[in-house]
Structure formats: C-alpha cells, structure tokens
Amino acid sequence: MMTTNTDVLIIGAGPAGSAAGALLASRGRSAICLERSWFPRHVIGESLLPRTDALLDEIGMLEAVRARGYMVKKGAVFLHEGRSERFCLENGLEGDRPETLQVPREDFDQVLATEARSKGLDLRFGQEVTGVDFRDDGAIASVVDLENDRRYEVHAKFVLDCSGYGRVLPRLLDLEREPALPQRVSCYTQVEGDRRPSGDLEGDVWICSHPDNGWLWIIPFSNGRTSVGSVCDPDYWAKLPGNDREKLWAYMQSDPAAWERLSSAVPVAKTTTIHGYSRKVSALHGDRWALVGNATDFLDPVFSSGVTLALETAVLAAKLVDRALGGESVEWDDEYDAPIGKAVGVFLAFIESWYRGELIDIFFDDRRTPEIKRQITSILGGHVLRDDNPFTGDASGELRKLHDRVRAGRAQQPVAE
C-alpha cells in the first residue's frame, strides 16, 4: 500500500483545518490536510464574530477574506415581544474588534482553503480518512481517495482532527459524551426579497425570540440573499404542519417581528433540517492528537460562536503542535484544555441563560449600566478569553447575579410600568 509521511495530518478543511494548516505551513512544518468533499461545499454557520477577524489577521488571511466584499456586520439585534435591543459591536471593551462579516460559507471556506494552500499547506480534496492507528512512534491514518477508490496510508507524528460533524477521532477513540444542552431542531434556507434595514444596520444579525418556542436567525449577505433559520424543541417542531419548508414558513409567520421583515421574501435555496446538533467529548487531546473546531464540543448557534471557536482552537492547537515538533515540552492540559474549556464555558453560560429566558430579561433591562452593556457586547463579539471582563470569570454566576438584580429592580417598579 502506498504511504505518505508528514509531520502533521489534519483531517478536514473547514475553517479549523485551513487555519491550523496555514499556521503550521507558514512556520515551515510539513502538514497534509485531507478533505473528503470537493469545494465549494455548503456548511451552515454564516454569521462571524469580531474575534474571528483578529484570528484571521493573526494567520495572514484577513485581507483575502475582506477582499471578497462580504456584508459587514456591525451589530447583533435581539427582538422580543415587539421590542428590539441592538448591541453595536464597536461598543465592546477597549481593544475588541469593532465589526465582522456575514459570509456565505461555500465561498468563505474556499477562500481559507486557497489561502492555506498558498502558504504551503498540502491540501487534498476528495480524500476520506477512515481510520487512525496510534503507535509509539506516530500515527498511521487509513485514507480512501474517493474518486478512484484507491486506499493508502499517511504516517504522521501528530494528528489534528478538524473533521467537524465527521467526528473522526471522537468516534474512533470513543470520546462522544452526552451534551450539556438538550437536543434541538434547526431548519434553514436562504431567501431573497426580505425588507432590510438600511445603512450600517443592513448587515446586522437578527435573533428573533419566537413567541411560542425557540428563536429565528436572519443573516443578510452582500449578494442579495439572506440566510434564515429556526431553532426550537423537537416536540414543537414535530407538531408544525406540512413538510420542512412549510414548517419553517409557518414558524416565521407566527413571529410578528420576523414576518414583518420576511413576508415578501422567497426561498432561493433548498431547505435543510438538522435534528440535534449539540456534541460533547470526554477529552480534547491525547498522545499525538488533538481535537479542533467542531470536532470538540459544539454547543448551539444562538450566539454565532462556532467559527470563532473553530479558529480559536485551530490557532492555539497549531502553535502548540509547532512547539512540540520543535522539541519543546507542551502542557496540553494547561495550555489547550484550560483556555478552550474557559471559552466554551462562557458561551455555554450565556446559551443556558438564553434558553432559561433570563438573558432576554437582562438584554431588555433599561437600568443596565453602560459598562455592563459593554462587557456583554464584548462577549457577543467572541472576546471570551479576556481576563478583564467579569463575564469571562464565573459567567454563570455573574449572569445569575445580574438576573436577580433585574428581577428585584422590576419588583420595585410601579405596576403601571
């Protein structure tokens, strides 16, 4: 059987794989990235956070991404019971990136892959990794070249699993665990003809808290299309009438704020439904391997954290692998698991507070101080590893305290308010 040798094998060429590969290649490491699909391919996850811009900048890809002319996202708007609250991303904490982009993923992922190759990454499409055997002296991956069904092996010193929902190592190493969040259903498509706000507000992401169950996203692109999607409980979804497209339309129609914007929109892409998207793993690294991006834990799309966490993990893991290959000792528990656990933990706290309905109370509390709004905006911008934001410490505790204060303040108000 044919064999290829490399320092690092990267499984999957989504944002995580391309970013990790680009960083390693630009530091002179030999890295092969194997991607089972052919690009462009569609993946959901189109609203970025400002933190992604900092990470793309760090790996030398921001300029190429910006050159694509994607819609600039300057705010996140939450709509609830006839009211709306906008978080302007430039009003985060000092040093935060002030804006980001809304990206059609087939194009965005293609740009990252092309940039990674231009930095020296050996990236091959149509190659599926089917097994990995870890030995004392390295890893042996079994690969199928899907176009001609040819099988071969890749021998690597280290494996970065960036396979997203492919979940290659979580399956092979039995790392899958029960997710922290209940499984929900998401259904999405793209439309044309929605009534967009104008000027700086056009590129905002809208998160509509649905009056009955769950929420809707509205993500505008610069090509005239808008991504729309629902997230709700499986039982509620099952009871909506019709096929998935009809269910999605019924769901949008029963949300007045969303429908005001979408009533004249027409679908221009197929409808996709994902039943249960949350994932959790028992370990982020082991001897000669690390999980990166969606191959680790995936929480929930409500705060658009997926691509940011994919890049955060990719850049960090690639730096650590580079050091390890250079003969340095790396404390993966402290240097990888700890910061990634912290970042995921902050988002998890916000997501849980959102689904308990408490975050909405906090978002719409008129007496919230400007400083608290800046701190929350910083989190919504994906800056979850800053040490100077109380919400990146004990995020759950801070949110509960804040919510208690909001409720206490409400109770003191006259009934007429």
Ligand X SMILES: Cc1cc2nc3c(=O)[nH]c(=O)nc-3n(C[C@H](O)[C@H](O)[C@H](O)COP(=O)(O)OP(=O)(O)OC[C@H]3O[C@@H](n4cnc5c(N)ncnc54)[C@H](O)[C@@H]3O)c2cc1C
> Footprint of ligand X on this chain (CB under 6 A)?
11-17, 34-37, 43-48, 128-129, 162-166, 168, 186, 229, 274, 277, 293-294, 301, 304, 306-308, 310
Q: Which is nearer to ligand X, 233 or 394 (CB)?
A: 233
Q: Which is nearer to ligand X, 64 or 274 (CB)?
A: 274
HEC-encoded secondary structure of the chain: CCEEEEEEEEECCCHHHHHHHHHHHHCCCCEEEEECCCCCCCCCCCECCHHHHHHHHHCCCHHHHHCCCCEEECEEEEEECCEEEEEEHHHCCCCCCCCEEECCHHHHHHHHHHHHHHCCCEEEECEEEEEEEEECCEEEEEEEECCCCEEEEEEEEEEEECCHHHCHHHHHCCCEECCCCCCCEEEEEEEECCCCCCHHHCCCEEEEECCCCCEEEEEECCCCEEEEEEEECHHHHHHCCCCHHHHHHHHHHCCHHHHHHHCCCEECCCCEEEECCCEEECCCEECCEEECHHHCCECCHHHCCHHHHHHHHHHHHHHHHHHHHCCCCCCHHHHHHHHHHHHHHHHHHHHHHHHCCHHHHHHCCCCCCHHHHHHHHHHHCCCCCCCCCHHHCCHHHHHHHHHHHHHHHHHHCCCCC
Compute the least distance from the CB of residue 129 to ligand X, in Å.
4
Q: Which is nearer to ligand X, 262 or 299 (CB)?
A: 299
Compute the least distance from the CB of residue 378 to ligand X, in Å.
17
Compute the least distance from the CB of residue 231 to ligand X, in Å.
7
Q: Which is nearer to ligand X, 48 or 175 (CB)?
A: 48
Compute the least distance from the CB of residue 358 to ligand X, in Å.
22
Q: Which is nearer to ligand X, 109 or 365 (CB)?
A: 109
Q: Which is nearer to ligand X, 139 or 402 (CB)?
A: 139
Compute the least distance from the CB of residue 99 to ligand X, in Å.
15
Compute the least distance from the CB of residue 163 to ligand X, in Å.
4
